[in-house]
C-alpha cells in the first residue's frame, strides 16, 4: 500500500484486497480490463476487487463468480438486480435507498436493470469470473 493515507477516488483507482490483508491500488485506465482479462494482474486466487461504477443503462451481460460471494452496494440512484440460482430460479431485488446492498452468493448468475442513474460499490471475488450475454 502507499505511504500516504489518501484521499483517493474509487473512480480512478480500484483496490485489490489480498489474502495477507494488504491492499493494492490499481489504476482504472484503458489498460486495466485487458490486463486483468489476459492474466497480467495474476490469478486473483482468494483476492477481491473493490470498485465503483456509475450506470445509466442496463448491464449488457450476466456474470457469475464461482469462487466467492459478491457485495453490490447502492451509493445513489436505483437498480433492480436479477439473481439466478443454481436451480435456474430468478429473483429480482430492488435497491432504491443509498446504503442498501445485494449479497450475490457464489455460482449465481446476476445482472442489473437500471431504474435511474445508479452509482454502485462492488466487492468482487476476482478468480474465475465469467460473463454471458443478456
67-126 pLDDT, tens digit per residue, is 999 999 999 999 999 999 888 899 999 999 999 999 999 999 999 999 889 999 999 998
**Residue 18's pLDDT is what?**
96
Query: What total of structural domains would you count in the chain?
Result: 1
Res 3 pLDDT > 70: no
| pLDDT, averaged across the chain | 93
Q: For residue 37, tell me if it sits in a domain.
A: yes
Higher pLDDT, 84 or 3: 84
**pTM score, two decimals?**
0.92
User: Does a structural domain hold residue 66?
Assistant: yes
Backbone angles phi, psi at 57, to 5 degrees: -135, 160
**Which residue shows C-alpha cell 456509475?**
54
Q: Give the range of the structural domain holding residue 44, as residue numbers without chain letter.
A: 13-133
Residues 46 and 37: their CA atoms lie apart, in Å, by 17
Confidence check: pLDDT of 19 > 80: yes
The CATH number assigned to the domain holding 126 equals: 2.60.120.10
Report whether pLDDT(4) > 80: no
The H-or-E segment that residue 36 falls in is helix 32-37
pLDDT per residue as tens digits for the range 33-65: 899 888 899 999 999 999 999 999 999 999 999
Instruction: Decide if 120 contacts 79 (C-beta within 8 A).
Output: yes
H and E: helices and strands count for the chain: 1, 9
The answer as to whether 6 is a domain residue is no
Amino acid at each position: 500500500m502507499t505511504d500516504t493515507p489518501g484521499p483517493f477516488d474509487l473512480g480512478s483507482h480500484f483496490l485489490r484486497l489480498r489474502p495477507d490483508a494488504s491492499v493494492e491500488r490499481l489504476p482504472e485506465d484503458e489498460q486495466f480490463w485487458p490486463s486483468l482479462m489476459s492474466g497480467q494482474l495474476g490469478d486473483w486466487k482468494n483476492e477481491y476487487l473493490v470498485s465503483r461504477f456509475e450506470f445509466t443503462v442496463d448491464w449488457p451481460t450476466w456474470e457469475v463468480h464461482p469462487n466467492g460471494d459478491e457485495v453490490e452496494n447502492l451509493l445513489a440512484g436505483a437498480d433492480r438486480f436479477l439473481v439466478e440460482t443454481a436451480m435456474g430460479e430468478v429473483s429480482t431485488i430492488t435497491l432504491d435507498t443509498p446504503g442498501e446492498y445485494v449479497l450475490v452468493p457464489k455460482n449465481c448468475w446476476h445482472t442489473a436493470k437500471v431504474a435511474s442513474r445508479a452509482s454502485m460499490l462492488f466487492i468482487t471475488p476476482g478468480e474465475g469470473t465469467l460473463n454471458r450475454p443478456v
